[in-house]
Structure 1
């Protein structure tokens, strides 16, 4: 090889050493025997080593042999073999009387003109602080989750107490109108209480629809149906989960529709069945409350009651539409959600004019 060629090779190698040494990221340049040829000043600063303690030393002898680990050996074997796809390795650097450092190490064999001289470039990233921050964040999330579940549990207890007071007052009052209003209020409070009780045991912040509806309907049956053998309230479908804020509206809608059916679908001692049916269709869902009662009157009432207004507003907030249809016998009210988004926060949605045929139950 000519002196000129040697000179160019020396210049290229000198430039490589200068680039590695000046790198702001911790770098090591190794030869084929995994001896350190060059180390960046940033590497020495990060690990508290002098360049004289690094350059010319075998990789696995650095820092009194603390760099010798099975994971690093696997990575270096892959790099020396020229595996360009060798994955980075997570290495725990354990040194006496010092905290463990979490490192991510990448290694690549350099491809250049002088293939007889093996060169390995190692990049080191210290993620100790990032890992510690992530652990602290995870601990905070867990702590907040526990506190939130405890708060929900206490809220559920408080709401049940309020619901019991409402029911007691309903039994004491002599006014039929006041008694009905108190019972309605009791049902609405119990709908939220059942949800809070379920969320107090949830780890994910979402609600199992079927479990919630079953608990809700059991509560309605216990507090509002005097003779469960005469009027049955059942739940069908509902296999899946929804966000907590969506479940609040769904629970209140069910409560209002069941209350309406109990008031108007079964006059006198007429027996009957009320069914709550909830089904997912991809991102969309349909909630139906149907009964086998006396059905809708031939002439619809001119006034829409508070229960129907509540259902209309709640459905609007969910981006859903309300449809009421006659059955033989009975009536069915369907809440259909057909858009991708589960919840719309636009207040105009609550004022959406939803096509709905009023029924006798909705005049309450």
Structure 2
């Protein structure tokens, strides 16, 4: 037991224990990592309730969820905006677990992680995406107004963008191969694959005769070939049944990113170890646009290993919102099903 306590005390992950039998469930113990993140000393927090870390911007709904779980002695995992001693904020991802002894509920154990950098990355990505979209739209308008050969110009732009994206993807893959295995290498590999999907979309736009639209069925076929090229067909495979749907060129990049992210995440997380499986992509035209279903026969969302550093699901939902669509996630028993509805008449 002493060895276990010493390991918790030395852990780089913030940990805290509260006394469930004392009034107001006060903090009974916290490791050095918790003290470092919050800026408090042990004397300043022991005996006080963890709500001392809350502030004006802390989400009240999440606080109420925590309170209800504690009252019911049930485990809970949440992310909450907390405040350090100096008043600065940080995003605290915590898993609170009730612990019983022979007499019943004794204390609560909370393992935590500072997720501030993840939220900052998401905010930065949204701002960067909006700024890039604004710059691209402004530049495209300038070029189409200045030149009479609009179609030839757009094809040339797509060709150059495709080439540039391929160069960037190759550089990131090279850097990934020279980076030690771990979170940084996985992040570089993932970003290179996303850029590759965008390159495929621009390659389709360059080859289409109509520079204002592209064929979703043809894109799915090319994407399928690229994705399956790196898989063992005896163990895992991606299949597609996509109608020939004319889609506005402006939707090429977000659609490519969305399809790639969902498919890659399924291959990465739905089939752990040597598990075999299949991912299917189905798209049909509807009265107001199109309906797309991405399904896998893997372990399912609930059974997949947690990935605190990942943001694939948030990225997909952000892209779907950008296209004015809706998305629903469900356990398929076995596997996971993602249903997406997207209007094809996009606002100007």
**TM-score range, shorter-chain basis?**
0.5 to 0.7
Return the index of the structure with the highest Cα Rg.
1
Shift of 1:203: 2.4
2:194 is the alignment partner of 1:188: yes
Aligned-pair RMSD on alpha carbons? 2.8
Gaps of 5+ in 2: 1-143
2:220 is aligned with 1:217:
no
Encode CA deviations 1:145-168: one digit per residue, 9 max, x unaligned: 112212211221221122122222
Query: 2: distance between equivalents of 1:193 and 1:301?
Result: 30
| CA-CA distance at 1:219 after TM superposition | 2.2
Partner of 2:204: 198
Aligned residues: 204
Q: Does 1:343 align with 2:346?
A: yes
Q: Distance in 2 between matches of 1:235 and 1:299?
A: 23
CA distance in 2 between counterparts of 1:299 and 1:251 reads: 24
Matched residue, 1:328: 333
Residue 164 of structure 1 is matched in structure 2 by 170
Residue aligning to 2:300: 295
8 Å CA contact 1:317, 1:344 repeated in 2: no
1:153 equivalent in structure 2: 159
Q: TM-score, normalised by structure 2?
A: 0.53
Q: Secondary structure at the match of 1:200?
A: helix
Cα deviation 1:221-270 (Å, max 9, x = unaligned): 33xx4424321012112321110112221111111111211221000011
Instruction: Report Cα offsets for 1:136-185 as digits up to 9, x if no partner.
Output: x9xx64x2311221221122122112212222222222132122111211
Secondary structure of residue in 2 paired with 1:295: coil
Could you list the runs of 5+ residues in structure 1 that have no partner in the other structure? 1-136, 346-364
Distance, in Å, in 1 between the alignment partners of 2:302 and 2:290 is 29
Task: Provide the C-alpha distance between the structure 1 equivalents of 2:317 and 2:225, rounded to a whole number of angstroms.
Answer: 24
Normalising by structure 1, what TM-score? 0.51
Q: Determine if the alignment matches structure 1 residue 230 to structure 2 residue 232.
A: no
Match of 1:34 in 2: none
Measure the CA separation in 1 of the matches of 2:172 and 2:238. Answer: 22
Residues 318, 344 of structure 1: 8 Å contact kept: no
User: How do 1:1-364 and structure 2 match up within 5 A?
Assistant: 141=148, 143-204=149-210, 205-222=212-229, 225-297=230-302, 305-337=310-342, 342-344=345-347
Label 1:161 to 1:299 Cα distance change in 2 as closer, same or farther (>3 A).
closer
Indicate conservation of the 8 Å contact 1:261/1:274, yes or no.
yes
Change (3 A) 1:171 1:284: same
In the alignment, is the contact (CA less than 8 A) between 1:320 and 1:335 conserved in 2? yes
SS of equivalent residue, structure 1 residue 287: strand
**Other structure's SS at 1:236 match:** strand
SS at match of 1:259: helix
Give the conservation status (yes or no) of the 8 Å contact 1:236–1:276: yes
Distance 2:304 2:182 in 1: 26
Aligned residues of 1:160 and 1:193 also touching (Cα < 8 A): yes
- Compared with structure 1, are the counterparts of its residues 273 and 256 closer, same or farther at alpha carbon in structure 2 (3 Å cutoff)? same
CA distance in 2, matches of 1:238, 1:167: 33
For the 8 Å contact 1:318–1:342, the answer to whether it is kept is: no
Structure 2 vs 1, CA of residues 260 and 344 (structure 1 numbering), >3 Å: closer, same or farther? Answer: farther
Greater shift, 250-259 or 146-155, is seen at 146-155
Distance in 1 (alpha carbons) for counterparts of 2:308 and 2:276: 27
SS of the residue 1:196 aligns to? helix
Structure 1 residues 300 and 164, CA gap change in structure 2 (3 angstroms): closer
